[in-house]
Structure 1
Amino acid sequence: MATVAELMEANLLKVFNERDDERRAKAIAETYAADIEFADPDGVTSGHEELNAKARGLLEQSPGFVFSPDGPVLVNHDLGHLAWQLGPEGAPPVARGIDIALVEDGVIKKLYTLLRPA
């Protein structure tokens, strides 16, 4: 069973940073509950298919950009926190945010993204 820290890293790097649809779908199945709820400033998505579409859409809007951690994963029991940045590889970020996840039964059940000033 993955740790909260491993799930947070998978969320950022294996899902939201993965441009290959098949690899991303596999990571989603391993990382999130089937009824995952993901909330960001644009709205709320539910389930694996909607989450996959959300990640794909974000990547399509930012060709050549990569997500990377912007600090360590912080964990408090079943709650994970990971700051991130997005931008062209090797260049200053154009966006920053924080992902906060609630983990149940070894998978992310709820995920919240907050945006920070770049």
Structure 2
Amino acid sequence: MGVHIGLMIWKEMKRQDLSSAFLATELKISKVKAQDILNSASIDTALLMNISEVLNYNFFQYYENGKAFSKIETQSKQQSALEIERLKHLIAEKNKLIDLKDQFIKTQTNLIGLLEKGQYI
């Protein structure tokens, strides 16, 4: 079951000792529309933003902990974990290549040194 946002708004208004008439005045809507908002289980996000500003309260927090966000967060974590593993593998492969390059350079340097001394013919 989801969040009944109208109820959450009503509870916050009661906590602040505010009336639906106050909400109607601040949002420049009718008292009937304000009451409809308080009775509504869902709400337009722009309207919720306005209400959040009027009441100085973040009503979006009720959705952040909801199942929809939780599922998205879980999927995001799984994707991130896979990407991290892929990147770790790439780093390990690149480190191997760097080690091989360093060994090659060392071998070439030794060979050049021997050739310059005339010891390798």
Give the TM-score normalised by the residue count of structure 1.
Answer: 0.23
Higher helix fraction: Structure 1 or Structure 2?
A: 2
Structure showing greater radius of gyration is 2
Structure with the higher strand share, 1 or 2: 1
